[in-house]
C-alpha cells in the first residue's frame, strides 16, 4: 500500500514542483521536491526492510508539515488540496496517529492565519467553514479507517487461527519458522521445534465419534499453551498433529519440556470411558536445518521414530552425521 501511495504522491506533486520552480515560486517548489524525495525514500525503506509503519509515519509527518508551509506561502489557493491530503494520510498510518497529525496540521494552519506573517483566510466565515469541514472530514475518515482496520485484523485472525482449537494455522507456520532460522543465522538464537501427534486418534473418532475427537483437540491446545511461554507458539499442522515453536531454548531444555507435555497429556486428558490419552513427540533444534522444510522434516522423522518405537514417548531428531550412519 505504501508503495502505491508513494508513487501516486510523487507523480501528482512533480508537475507542480517543476511549474512552481519555473515560475519563480522557489519555496513552494522546494517543499514539493522535498515531499517527493521523502516519498521515494520511504518507499525504498519499506521495500528493503519490510517495515511500512515507520516509513509511512515519516511520509505522513513530512506531508503535513509541507502542507502548512505551502498554505503559509500561497494561502487560499491551496486550501482545497488539504481535503485529499487528509484522506491520503489515513492510508499511510494507523487511524489514531493520522487523526492526531491532521489535528496538529489544521491547528497550525489556523494559528498561522492569526499571526502577523500570514492571513490565509479572507474572512472569519471562511475560517470557521475550514475548521468545521476539516474536522468533519477527519472524523469521518477516522471512522472509516478504524472500521477498515478492525475488519483487516479480523480477516488476519481468521486466516491465521484454527477455528476449532484456537491454535495458529499451518499458513502462518512457515513465516514463523523462517524468521526463527534468520534469527539463528544472524544472531545465533537457538529455537526448538516439537511435532506432536495424538496416538491412535483415528480409533477415538471411530469408537466415540468425531464430536468427541473435536473436544479432545479443543482441550489439548489450552493445555499446551499453559505449559509454554507467551513468546512461544502452537500451530495446528493437520488433523491431530500440532507444531510447537519454542524460542531461545537449548536441546536439553527442549527435551525436558517435551517430556512434561507428554506427561501432562497422559495424566490430564482422558477419553469418555476413562482411558488415558497419549501422545508421541518428535523434537529438533534449528542448528541442523538449512530452511524451514528441513527443520520440520527433522522433527517429523523423529516423530515417526517415536510412533515406530511404541508411541507415548519423545524422540530427539538425529544429528546429520548420525542420520548418514543409520542410512549406510
Q: Which residues have a catalytic role annotated?
A: 240
Q: Name the nearest CA neighbour of 195 among 316, 327, 17.
A: 316
CA distance linking residue 148 with residue 137, whole number of Å: 16
Query: Is the CA virtual torsion 11, 12, 15, 20 positive or negative?
Result: negative
Cell readout for 215 is 473436544
- Please state, as a whole number, how many other Cβ atoms lie within 10 Å of the Cβ of residue 147: 11
The partner residues of 196 in beta bridges, in order of sequence, read 242, 281
CA angle 24, 30, 32 (to 5 degrees): 110
Phi and psi dihedrals of 23, rounded to 5?
-95, 10
Work out the burial of residue 161: count CB atoms within 10 Å of its CB; fewer than 13 is exposed, 13-18 middle, 19 or more buried: middle
Contact status, residue 191 vs residue 248, Cβ threshold 8 Å = yes
Distances from the Cα of 175 to the Cαs of 178, 235, 270, in angstroms? 5, 12, 34
Report helix, strand or coil for 271. coil
DSSP string across 125-193: HHHHHHHHHHHHHHHHHHHHHHHHHHHHHHHHHHHHB-TTT-PBPHHHHHHHHHHHHHHHHHH----EE
Torsion of CA 202, 204, 206, 212, to 10 degrees: -120
Amino acid at each position: 500500500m505504501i508503495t502505491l501511495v508513494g508513487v501516486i504522491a510523487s507523480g501528482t506533486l512533480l508537475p507542480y514542483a517543476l511549474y512552481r520552480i519555473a515560475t519563480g515560486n522557489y519555496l513552494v517548489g522546494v517543499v514539493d521536491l522535498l515531499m517527493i524525495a521523502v516519498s521515494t525514500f520511504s518507499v525504498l525503506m519499506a521495500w528493503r526492510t519490510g517495515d511500512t509503519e515507520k516509513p509511512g509515519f515519516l511520509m505522513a509527518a513530512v506531508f503535513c508539515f509541507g502542507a502548512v508551509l505551502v498554505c503559509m506561502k500561497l494561502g487560499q489557493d491551496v486550501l482545497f488540496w488539504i481535503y485529499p491530503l487528509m484522506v491520503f494520510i489515513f492510508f499511510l498510518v494507523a487511524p489514531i496517529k493520522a487523526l492526531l497529525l491532521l489535528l496538529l496540521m489544521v491547528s497550525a494552519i489556523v494559528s498561522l492565519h492569526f499571526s502577523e506573517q500570514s492571513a490565509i483566510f479572507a474572512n472569519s466565515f471562511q475560517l470557521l467553514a475550514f475548521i468545521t469541514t476539516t474536522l468533519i472530514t477527519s472524523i469521518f475518515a477516522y471512522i472509516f479507517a478504524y472500521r477498515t482496520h478492525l475488519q483487516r485484523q479480523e480477516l488476519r485472525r481468521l486466516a491465521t487461527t484454527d477455528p476449532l482449537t484456537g491454535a495458529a494455522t499451518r499458513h502462518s507456520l512457515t513465516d514463523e519458522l523462517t524468521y526463527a532460522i534468520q534469527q539463528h543465522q544472524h544472531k545465533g538464537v537457538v529455537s526448538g521445534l516439537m511435532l506432536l501427534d495424538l496416538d491412535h486418534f483415528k480409533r477415538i473418532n471411530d469408537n466415540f465419534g468425531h464430536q468427541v475427537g473435536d473436544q479432545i483437540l479443543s482441550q489439548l491446545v489450552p493445555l499446551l499453551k499453559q505449559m509454554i511461554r507467551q513468546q512461544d507458539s502452537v500451530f495446528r499442522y493437520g488433523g491431530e498433529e500440532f507444531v510447537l515453536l519454542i524460542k531461545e531454548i537449548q536441546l536439553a531444555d527442549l527435551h525436558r519440556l517435551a517430556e512434561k507435555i507428554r506427561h501432562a497429556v497422559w495424566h490430564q486428558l482422558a477419553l469418555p470411558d476413562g482411558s488415558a490419552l497419549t501422545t508421541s513427540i518428535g523434537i529438533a533444534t534449528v542448528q541442523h536445518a538449512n530452511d524451514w522444510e528441513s527443520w520440520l522434516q527433522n522433527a517429523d522423522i523423529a516423530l515417526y521414530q517415536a510412533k515406530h518405537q511404541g508411541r507415548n514417548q519423545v524422540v530427539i531428531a538425529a544429528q546429520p552425521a548420525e542420520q548418514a550412519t543409520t542410512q549406510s
